[in-house]
Amino acid sequence: MSETVYYKVGGHTYRIVFADDKNSSQLLSSSNPFISDAVADEDLLFSLTVNDAWRPQEKGSEIGQFDCNGNPHGVYILSDGSYRIEVSNPQHRQCCLIEMKADFSAATLCLNGTADMRSFGLNNALMMLYAFAGSLRKTLLIHASVVRKDGYGYLCLGVSGTGKSTHTSLWLRHIPGCDLLNDDNPVVRMCDDGVVRVYGSPWSGKTPCYRNDQAPVGAFLQLKQAPYNKIRQQSVVETFTSIMPSCSLMKWDKLNYTSVCDTVSEVMQHTKTFLLECLPDEAACRLSYGTIRVV
C-alpha cells in the first residue's frame, strides 16, 4: 500500500511517495516535525518516489564523488542530463540508488539493506536533492551550527573538527536566552522581502535537533582554532570563501553551481561575516557574542 507525505523545510514544500510496502515515512523520523499539508504540483520544490522495484535503465558516465558529511557517493550523468547517485553508508555498503532530473524537480530511488541502512540512504539522498533543488530558489543547505539569541540566528562555519558545535555549546552554557536551531545542516534562504533567514532542518548531524523554526540571520562566524581569542570582520573576498565552501552543491552542474554562487553573493549584501580565531573557552564565546550580536 503506497503512502504520500508532504514536508515543508525552509519554506519549500516537497512530496515523497512511498510506492511499495517495504518502505514508509517511518524511515524519516527526523522529518516528522516538518510534515505539511498538500500543495499543488506547480508549488512543489520537488517530488520523490521511493520504490524498491525501480531499477535505473542506464548506468551513465561517472563524473565524481559527492561528499555528504564525510561519506563519498558516486555521481553519474545520463544521456538526457539526469543524474544518478550511488549512496553508501559509513561502512561503504551501498544502500540507495537515486536518479534525479536535470532540473532536480523529480527523482526516483530504491533502497537496500537493513532498516538503518535504508534510513541512512533515504535521508542522505533527500538531503542532496533538497540542496540541489533549493539552490534554484535562492536557498542554501549549509554545513554549520546555528545558535539563536534575541530572535536572530548566528551560524558557526568551519571544516569538520574546527569546533562549530563546541562554540555554539559555549553560547548555550554562558549566554542566557540562547537556543540551538540546528547543529549541522541548517537552511539559509534569501527571501523575497530582502531578509536572509536561517531555518532548522531534518538534518542535524549527530545532534538530534530537528526544529521546524526560523530566524533572521544575525551574522556568520568563521571559526579557526588558535592559542588565543581574536575576532574581526571579514572582507568581501574572505566572506565569499567562508560561506561558499560550506554550501552543499554539485560542482559539476553549471546551473547548480552558478545558482549557489549567485545566492551567496546576494546573501553577503545583507549580512556580515566575522573570523574568530579562538580557544574552546568561555572567553571566546563572550568575545564573539559581544562583537557579532545584533543590537
Q: Which domains does the chain have, with CATH numbers?
A: 3-137 (no CATH), 140-292 (3.40.50)
Residue 265 gets the label, from left (phi > 0), alpha (psi -120 to 50) or beta, of alpha
Q: What is the per-residue pLDDT for 70? A: 66
pLDDT in tens, 262-281: 999 999 999 999 999 999 99
Give the whole-angstrom CA distance, residue 262 versus residue 138: 8
For 33, phi then psi, to 5°, come to -65, -10
Q: What is the per-residue pLDDT for 6? A: 98
pLDDT in tens, 59-117: 889 998 877 666 778 999 999 999 999 999 888 889 999 999 999 999 999 999 999 99
pLDDT in tens, 110-169: 999 999 999 999 999 999 999 999 999 999 999 999 999 999 999 999 988 899 999 999
For 126, phi then psi, to 5°, come to -65, -40
Average pLDDT of the residues in 191-203: 97
Query: Would the pLDDT of 36 be above 90?
Result: yes
pLDDT band at 44 (very low <50, low <70, confident <90, very high): very high
